[in-house]
Structure 1
Amino acid sequence: MPSLLQHSKLPLALAVASLLTGATAYANPNVDSEQWIDLFNGKNLDGWTIKIQGSPLGENTLDTFQVEDGLLKVRYDNYKSFPAEHAGFGHIFYAEREFSHYILEVEYRFVGEQVTDGPAWAYSNNGMMYHAQSPQSMALDQDFPLSVEYQLLGGNGTDERSTANLCTPATQVVMDGELRKDHCINSSSKTYHGDQWVTVRLEVHGSELAIHSVNGEQVMQYTDLQLDDGTARDSGYIALQAESNPADFRRVRLLNLEGCMDKKASNYRSYFIKNDSDACEYSN
């Protein structure tokens, strides 16, 4: 026969079991599920704003940016030469909001021939501008936005030419403990010739850290993202370039690493690295 002490423990054990069962029932089943945002919807340029050097904000001069067959295309079919009247270097901004901590994934390829009189350095050259100024703040004839650039380059079929490089229009970074003021710094990536699709990723933690990867392989890392005057640059807009060579983008998506970090919230995710307490949502 069970002792009185054993009997006295039964209600407590049942209570603990009940609490544990309840905790399991209300646990967030999506804690590890990644909530990617498709910045490009594959259908149109909703959410994007165009700024082409020499043209007013929002004007898609000479139909430079196009959407066809599910691709966001950079094209120069209507250019006789480069630059054209009211059309120089172009950028298309995801202008819905700024971002600070995130992973940006892009699939791109270079296609066709560079437009006549395009600069030699811009052959098979594009880029993902991030922590960028707003398109509204760019001057009419401004060539590139203040930003950090994840440079995309294609090979010429013969020579080595890395992609996922770093360029710094009005910005600078620290690499291996050294403040780097070089305008462009090459990554350790291999060369991608022709019109093959390439998948690149940028992981950025505000002004603290940025990591470049190509087809799943890390090729560059740097810290202390800042303006040329030393001011930390921890957020901004994202833009894709048009630098005189046709290019296609078929995926542009983002995983926000900033969100509610309260594990009791229904929208907590395990991969968040920056807390936004105002975003927290709780189940009744």
Structure 2
Amino acid sequence: MRRVIQSFAVYPFLLTTIGLLLPTATLGDDPSATGTAKDLFNGKDLTGWHVDVPDADDNPDIQPSFVVRDGKLVSMGTPRGHLITDQSYSDYRLEVEYRFAGKPGNCGVLVHASTPRALYKMFPQSIEVQMMHENAGDFWCIHENIVVSDMASRRPGDPSTWGGKQGQSRRILNLTDGSEKPPGQWNRMVVECADDQVKVWVNGDLVNEGFDCTAEQGQIALQAEGSEVEFRKVQLTPIRQISDQVPENQASDQ
């Protein structure tokens, strides 16, 4: 009987020891794991964001460039400027659902944003993922730079002019111009940033992929750039690495 009692006395210790040795399912243990998704837009107001509109410097009563309307975040297009997150982020998946509310035109989402008004006294230092109608997924380098595998065919200009500053060749063409929905319908853009890589899908199609980015973290910004655009989802999920294929449930509109 004494031996049996001793065996049971040791058993909890063994369980504790084994438990300490077993791997735990954390984001750091599994390279393909993701963290908890966070809605950057809460559907009610612009908490967590701030506005940078140069024309408002001398006219604080100017009409707002960004508003919340019927539960959607709306970029009014003018006055031109940016809506910027208060926090900086790295290693994430950004999911944006947007549509042009009227005549389709120009807009964009900026990743790795830092110094405000770095270019033309308007655009923050960043990598822009273009939302311009029929050009969704282009990269525009703004005082940062990024490389794609087929640079010679997708980046206009002589290689000596490639860069992110005024006068340099800042645009990198997307892989397809046919991925957007007709005007008025919702588009889903997925942007993944991890280490020095940025990868973009539009409605399930891979539209751009870059590496050797000169920035690996920063704020996220939405543009007011001439056209009214509605956003019904702006959601960020921590990731460990770039996905090989479009993330699950992101390939089709809902």
Give the structure-2-normalised TM-score.
0.72
Q: 1:23 aligns with which of 19, 40, 43?
A: 19
Counterpart mapping for 1:47-196 below 5 A = 47-56=48-57, 61-75=62-76, 87=79, 89-95=80-86, 97-113=87-103, 124-134=105-115, 137-138=116-117, 142-154=121-133, 161-176=134-149, 178=151, 181=162, 182-189=169-176, 190-196=179-185
Work out whether 1:219 is the aligned partner of 2:197.
no
Identity of aligned residues (%): 28
Q: Render the CA deviation track for 1:201-241: whole Å, top value 9, x for unaligned.
A: 111113x2111011233221110112xxxxxx121111000
| Bigger mean CA deviation after superposition, 142-151 or 49-58 | 49-58
Unaligned runs of 5+ in 1: 1-6, 80-86, 114-122, 155-160, 227-232, 258-271, 274-284
CA–CA distance in structure 1, aligned partners of residues 24 and 56 of structure 2 = 49
Q: 1:166 to 1:60 in 2, by over 3 A?
A: farther
Work out whether 1:199 is the aligned partner of 2:200.
no
Q: Give the conservation status (yes or no) of the 8 Å contact 1:163–1:186.
A: no
What SS class does the counterpart of residue 125 from structure 1 fall into? coil
Q: Which amino acid aligns with 1:91?
A: H
What SS class does the counterpart of residue 85 from structure 2 fall into? strand
Higher relative contact order (CA 8 A, sep 6+): 2
Work out whether 1:237 is the aligned partner of 2:219.
yes
Q: 1:176 to 1:40 in 2, by over 3 A?
A: same
Q: Give the conservation status (yes or no) of the 8 Å contact 2:34–2:238.
A: no
Q: Give the conservation status (yes or no) of the 8 Å contact 1:50–1:57.
A: no
Q: Name the one with the larger strand percent.
A: 1
Give the structure-1-normalised TM-score.
0.65
Q: Give the conservation status (yes or no) of the 8 Å contact 2:180–2:187.
A: no
Q: Which amino acid aligns with 1:102?
A: Y
Q: Give the conservation status (yes or no) of the 8 Å contact 1:50–1:58.
A: no
Q: Render the CA deviation track for 1:147-205: whole Å, top value 9, x for unaligned.
A: 10011122xxxxxx241221112222111175962322222232432111011111111
Q: How many equivalent residue pairs?
A: 215
Q: Which has more radius of gyration?
A: 1
Shift in Å at residue 111 of structure 1? 1.4
Unaligned runs of 5+ in 2: 28-32, 156-161, 163-168, 242-254
